[in-house]
């Protein structure tokens, strides 16, 4: 939960930094959100290995993906609140970007972000687990 919140906070902080610096219409900068996702997943897996002494591949894969999927859910909720109550013109910015296209609705954006978020969560977790798959905590390395 802590690592999911850190991912969410990083994405929201980066979003507002882009907004306040006038860069919110540059869609390509949103790709940098993957840095926060990879960082949070890595931190969750590493914490599970070191603190919980859990070195099973599948367990850590689930921890990483679950952490990121939880962060995706928080981010989608944040987007719904932002578009509904703070700045409904953000949908126009999304429509004008090269990623989304025209005639967007909030439910369509939420659905697309959920699918993309879940897919990237699993993919990023799998990529990071390739590094950690042979990692053994110090207590199990002695066995």
| Mean pLDDT on 40-64 | 91
Length of the chain: 143
Confidence of residue 82 (pLDDT cuts 50, 70, 90): very high
pTM for the whole structure: 0.83
Min mean pLDDT across 21-35, 59-73, 80-94 is at 21-35
Cβ contacts of 79 within 8 Å, gap of 6 or more: 109, 110, 113
Q: What percent of the chain has pLDDT over 90?
A: 54
Distance CA 17, CA 92 (A): 19
Confidence of residue 98 (pLDDT cuts 50, 70, 90): low
Reported in sequence order, the residue ranges of the chain that DSSP labels E, i.e. its strands, are: none
Give per-residue pLDDT as tens, 53-62.
888 889 999 9
* Contact yes or no for 80/110 (Cβ under 8 A): yes
| Mean pLDDT on 13-22 | 90
The mean predicted confidence, pLDDT, of the chain is 86
Distance CA 90, CA 81 (A): 12
Domain definitions of the chain by residue range: 2-136
| Mean pLDDT on 44-66 | 91
């Amino acid at each position: 939960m802590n690592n999911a919140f850190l991912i969410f906070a990083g994405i929201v902080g980066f979003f507002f930094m882009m907004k306040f610096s006038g860069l919110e219409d540059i869609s390509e900068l949103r790709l940098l959100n993957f840095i926060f996702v990879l960082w949070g997943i890595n931190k969750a897996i590493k914490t599970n290995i070191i603190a919980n002494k859990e070195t099973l591949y599948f367990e850590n894969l689930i921890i990483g993906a679950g952490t990121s999927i939880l962060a995706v859910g928080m981010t989608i909720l944040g987007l719904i609140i932002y578009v509904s109550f703070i700045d409904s013109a953000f949908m126009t910015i999304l429509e004008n970007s090269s990623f989304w296209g025209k005639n967007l609705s909030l439910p369509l954006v939420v659905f697309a972000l959920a699918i993309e978020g879940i897919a990237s969560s699993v993919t990023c977790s799998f990529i990071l687990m390739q590094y950690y798959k042979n990692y053994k905590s110090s207590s199990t390395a002695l066995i």
